[in-house]
Amino acid sequence: MSLDTPLTSLSRIGPKFSKKLEKLGLKTVGDLLFFFPTRYEDLSHITKIDEITPGADYVVQGVIIRSHTHRSFKKHMAITEIVVEDESGAIKAIWFNQPYIGKALAEGAMVNLAGKVAEDQHGMYLSNPLYELIGAPMRDTTHTGRIIPIYRETKGITSKAIRYFLSSLLEWVKELPEYIPHEILTRNNIPLLKDALYAIHYPKTLEEASHAHQRFIFEHLFLVSLAREQRKKENYNSGVPLTIHLEEIKQFIDTLPFTLTEAQKRATWTMLKNTGEATPMQRLLNGDVGSGKTVVSAILALNTVLNKRQIIIMAPTEILARQHFETFIRLFQAYPIAIGLIAGKKYHYAFEGLSSETQKPILLKSIRSGKINIVIGTHALLEKEVVLAHPALIVIDEQHRFGVEQRAILTRDKHVVHPHVLSMTATPIPRTLALTVFGDMDISVLDEMPKGRKKITTKIVSPENRMQAYEFVRSQVKKGFQAFVICPRIETSAPSEDIKKLPTQQKMLWWEVKTVKDEHEKLQSLIFPDLKVGILHGKMKSDEKEAIMKAFAEKSVDILVSTSVVEVGVDIPNATVMLIESAERFGLAQLHQFRGRIGRNEHQSYCLLFTTSVVHLEERRLKAMTTTHSGFELAEMDLRLRGPGEFLGEEQSGWSDIVMSTLKNPALLAIAEEEAKLFLTHHTITEIPALHEKLESFTSKLHLA
Ligand code: ADP
Ligand code: MG
C-alpha cells in the first residue's frame, strides 16, 4: 500500500462508499489520511450512571440489559429503546426511526453511549446517543470514550464512517517515511509525519491533536519558504540586468501633472534596483485602488525601453487593457515609444500620442521584430503567435485574476531569458496571507494615497430611505456627476443545489438579491425616466461592453448599472456615487474596490450600501465600511471574520486552515523561513529525494508568478 493506492482497494470501502468519498474529493489512501478533522469532541470521560443529571452531555459505559424496538401507533415510526447498566445504576437510551440500531445493540453486549441526557415523566434517558459496542471494558474504542474527530460529511458518509475507514490505516501510518530533515523537526519541537498523522485522527488529548496540526502548518510554511529560496537559487543570474537611466527618469517624472507619493518613490526605486540585477525580479506591488500603481509601472517601462528592451503589460479585461493603452499613450506622447494593443479581436498601434487600428499580422510582425516597445493586452497575449524579440519586463495587472498556468506561460514558458516580473494588485492582501500563499514573491506596498483625495462618505441605507437615496443620486446627476449601481447578479436564475438546501427563510432571501437586469429596468422606466441609465455585465459581447463604457466615459450615460465587472480598475473620474445592492454578499475587500471607482476627482463622493434584508443592516462587517478607509485594514478584518476564501478563490480553499493558524501564530512563519534558508545554504534540494518530490508537487499548487 502507498499513499497513491486507490481507496477502492481497501476492504472496508466498497464501490458504493468510494463513489461517495469521491464527493469529498477523496480518491486515494493519501487523500483520506490528509482529510483532517474539522473539530474534535471530547468523549474521553466516562461518567458513572448515578452521577449524571439532565440537560448535559455524557459518555456512559455499561451492559445492555434490555433492547426493544417497536413502531409507534400514530406515525409508524420505529422506536428503539435500550437500558444500559453499570455498577452504579441503569439508564434508558432512545432512538427514533433507526431500526437497525435495535439489531446492533443486543442484550448482554457492552456498549459506550455518548449524548445528551433528557428527562420525561418516566425519568432520565439518553436521546439519540452515539453508540459503540466494545468487546471488553477499557479496550480502545474508535467512536466514544476518547477524543472524537469530526469530519466534513456528505450524504451517506458520516464522521463515524470516516473514522471506521481510517482505523484500518492507522497501523500502516506508523511506517510512513519522513520528508522533512529530522534535525529541523527536533530543533523546533515539531512531530514526525507518522506521529502527526496518527495523532490528528486519533489523539489521546486535545493538546496532542493541536500539536499534530502544528506539524502540517509548519510543513506548509517551510515548503513555501523553500520554494521561494529554491527559485531564487535556480534563477540566480538568469535574467537581464537593466541599466538605470536616472536622468531620463527624473525628466519623465517632471513631466507628470503631480508629484509622486513617498510610497510610489520607494517602490519605484526598489524595483529599479531589482531590475538592475541579473536575477529576475519577482515582485508584487500591492496598493489600494487609486494609489497610483500605473505610473510606477510606466517608469519601469520607460527604463526598460531606454535599455532597448521590450515590455509586456497584461490586464484581466479588455476595458482595463484599453485604459492602460490610453494612459501609456498620454504618458509617453513626447517620447519615441511604440505601443501595441491586443485586446479581443482588435489590434491597435500608437506612437507619439497618436493611435490607430491596425491588422493582426502587421502588429505581430512589429512585435516580433522588436519595433513595438510596449505590448499591452489581455490574456490574448498568451497565444503562441505573440512573440517578442527581446522582452525584459512583464507587468501583470490585477494578477490574482489570472490562473497560475496563465502567469507561468507569460513569465517563463514563452521566453528564453527570464524577464523581470512586476505583478500588481489592488486587492489589499493581508501580510500573513501574502507570506503564506504568495510567499514566493517579494512585496512592495503603496500604503499612501496621492494628496488631496477626499475620503468617501459611506452609509448603510435602510429600506425606508431608498427613495431618498435615489433623490440624492438625481441631485448629483443634476450637478453634472455620474453614478454606479452595483448588483451581485446579472439575472434571476434557478437556485443552485446549495441554495436549495438552505432553510426556507434564507432561500427566500436568495430571491431578493438584486439583479442587474431588473434594477436597470426599474431605474430607467420608473425612477429615472428622464435620465440615461446604462447596463454592463459579463455576459455582454465585448463590443457592447466597450460601447457602454465609452458612453459612460463621455457622459452620455448618467447611471451605470453593473455587476462586479467594474471592480477592476475602471477610471471614470466624473462619477461621485457608488450605490451597492445586496452589499452583504460581497467581501469587504471587494466593496472597497467598488468604492475605489469613485472619489477620483476633487469633489466629495458617496458610497451607499443597501442590504438584501434588514437582518444584514447590523452586520459588523458592513459597519466597518462606514468607518474604515484603509483597504488593508478591511482586508485584515475580512480575513479574520470570513477566512481567506475571498482572497484565494476556489482552488486554494483548502489552505484556509493554514492561513488562519498562521494568523494566530506568526512566529512559526519566521522559523520556517529561517530553516528553509539555512537548509539551502548547506544542501541542495536533490540530496533528499523525498523532500524534493514533495516540494515539486507542492509548488505545482502554489501561486507562482
Ligand atoms: P491604481 O493603483 O488603482 O491602478 P492608478 O494608477 O489608476 O491607480 O491611479 C489613479 C489616478 O491617480 C490616476 O488618474 C493617476 O493619474 C493618479 N495619480 C497617480 N499617482 C498620483 C500622485 N502621486 N498624485 C496625484 N495623482 C496621482
Ligand atoms: Mg490600476
Higher pLDDT, 286 or 248: 248
Last residue of one domain, picked from the residues 107, 126, 145? 145
Are residue 519 and residue 577 in the same domain, yes or no? yes
pLDDT per position as a tens digit, 11-42? 888 888 888 898 888 899 998 998 988 888 77
Does the structure show a pLDDT above 80 at 670? Answer: yes
CA 576 to chain centre: 30
Residue 618's alpha-carbon distances to 15, 234, 462, in angstroms, are 48, 52, 10
Grid cell, residue 510, equals: 436568495
Report CA(570)–ligand 2 centroid distance (Å): 8
Ligand minimally distant from the alpha carbon of residue 290: 1
Nearest CA to ligand 1 atom 22: 450
Report the CATH number at residue 130. 2.40.50.140
Question: Cell match 479581436: residue?
Answer: 345
pTM for this prediction: 0.66
Ligand minimally distant from the alpha carbon of residue 593: 1
Ligand minimally distant from the alpha carbon of residue 285: 1
Residue 640's alpha-carbon distances to 627, 657, 703, in angstroms, are 18, 12, 21
- Domain assignment present for residue 18? The answer is no
Report CA(164)–ligand 1 centroid distance (Å): 59
Last residue of one domain, picked from the residues 145, 168, 198? 145
The predicted pLDDT at position 311 comes to: 97
Report the C-alpha gap between 251 and 254 in whole angstroms: 5
Mutation choice for ligand 1 from 291, 400, 429, CB with most ligand atoms inside 8 A = 291
Q: Domain count for the chain, please give it.
A: 3
Does the structure show a pLDDT above 90 at 378? Answer: yes
Are residue 355 and residue 496 in the same domain, yes or no? no
Q: Which atom belonging to ligand 1 lies closest to the Cα atom of 260?
A: 23
Residues with CB under 5 A from ligand 2 (ion): 569
Tell me which residues have their CB closer than 6 angstroms to ligand 1.
Answer: 258, 260-261, 264, 287, 289-295, 426, 450, 569, 571
Are residue 404 and residue 477 in the same domain, yes or no? no
Are residue 352 and residue 474 in the same domain, yes or no? no
The average pLDDT across 332-356 equals: 94
Report CA(547)–ligand 2 centroid distance (Å): 21
- Domain assignment present for residue 421? The answer is yes
Are residue 308 and residue 402 in the same domain, yes or no? yes
- Domain assignment present for residue 321? The answer is yes
Q: Which atom belonging to ligand 1 lies closest to the Cα atom of 446?
A: 2
Domain span at 140: 45-145
Are residue 464 and residue 388 in the same domain, yes or no? no
Report CA(71)–ligand 2 centroid distance (Å): 68
Report CA(290)–ligand 1 centroid distance (Å): 5
- CB neighbours (10 Å) of residue 506? 12
Are residue 534 and residue 395 in the same domain, yes or no? no
pLDDT per position as a tens digit, 489-538? 998 877 777 777 777 777 777 778 889 999 999 999 999 999 999 999 98
Are residue 328 and residue 413 in the same domain, yes or no? yes
Strand pairing class (110-120; 123-134): antiparallel
Q: What is the mean pLDDT of the chain?
A: 87
Are residue 357 and residue 494 in the same domain, yes or no? no
Are residue 411 and residue 296 in the same domain, yes or no? yes
Report the C-alpha gap between 540 and 534 in whole angstroms: 12
Are residue 510 and residue 595 in the same domain, yes or no? yes
- Domain assignment present for residue 463? The answer is yes
**Sign of the alpha-carbon dihedral angle for 469, 473, 587, 454:** negative
Residue 524's alpha-carbon distances to 395, 511, 579, in angstroms, are 40, 21, 15
Report the CATH number at residue 320. 3.40.50.300
Strand pairing class (39-42; 391-396): unpaired
- Domain assignment present for residue 217? The answer is no
Are residue 610 and residue 477 in the same domain, yes or no? yes
pLDDT per position as a tens digit, 461-495? 999 999 999 999 999 999 999 999 999 999 887 77
The predicted pLDDT at position 138 comes to: 47
Nearest CA to ligand 1 atom 24: 450
Nearest CA to ligand 1 atom 10: 290
- Domain assignment present for residue 473? The answer is yes
pLDDT above 70 coverage of the chain, percent: 94
